[in-house]
Amino acid sequence: MQIKNILATKGMKVVTIRPDQTLREVVTTLATNKIGALVVVDLQNKPVGIISERDVIRVASQNEKFLTNLVRDVMTKDVIFGSPNDDVHSVQKTMTEGHFRHLPIVEGGKLTGIISIRDVVKAMLDEYAGEIDTLQTMIKG
């Protein structure tokens, strides 16, 4: 199964923020959209980073005035991006080993979606359940 199959059910909506916005705007956007991370994009809508709840909490532990910090100073910059053609199994391995929960999906330099580890494992478990079903049918003949 490929990432594009997940995007087809999940939709392509990605909530973004710009590097020069503040953490105050980040917490409001996260809370309003009930999500755990935002993709940071430049003026050309090109993804340049990601900012998660964990990133915000870490800064908060160092600086009580964290809400005035800028996104660019807090975001994770060396973000791994996925492609719609990536296989879900390799994506799951990358995300588990890299300990990150959100993978922005890029196609032709454009942001086309975001996948969470939850989406990936749900797809895999569904696939495995189908496979187990098929094998059991074969055995029962």
Partner 1 sequence: MLIRQILAVKGTKVVTIDGAKTLREAVALLTANNIGAVIVVDVDNKPVGILSERDIIRASDRLPDVFAHRVSEVMSRNVVVGSPNDEVQTVQQTMTQKRFRHLPIMDQGKLAGIISLGDIVKAELEESQGEIEALSSYIQS
Q: What is the DSSP annotation of 56-83?
A: HHHHHHH-TTGGGSBHHHHSB-S---B-
Which span sits near partner 1 by CB under 8 A: 11-19, 43-51, 72-80, 126-134? 126-134
The answer to whether the Cα torsion of 66, 75, 73, 110 is positive or negative is negative
Binding mask 18-47 for partner 1 (x = CB under 8 A): ---------xx-xx----x-----------
Tokens of residue 92, six digits: 């799951």
Q: Which of 76, 61, 84, 64 is nearest to 6 (CA)?
A: 84
> Which residue lies nearer to partner 1 by CB, 92 or 112?
92
Total of residues contacting partner 1 (CB under 8 A)? 30
- CA diameter of the chain: 67
* Angstrom distance (rounded) from CA 52 to CA 30: 9
Using rule CB under 8 A, residue 15 touches partner 1: no
Using rule CB under 8 A, residue 56 touches partner 1: yes
Shortest Å, Cβ 12 to partner 1: 21
Rounded alpha-carbon distances, angstroms, from residue 37 to 75, 89, 104, 134, 136: 10, 22, 10, 37, 40
Which span sits near partner 1 by CB under 8 A: 4-12, 38-46, 48-56, 104-112? 48-56
* Residues of the shown chain interacting with partner 1 in the complex, contacts defined by CB under 8 A: 27-28, 30-31, 36, 53-54, 56-58, 60-61, 64, 67, 92, 96, 117-118, 121-122, 124-125, 128-129, 131-132, 135-136, 138-139
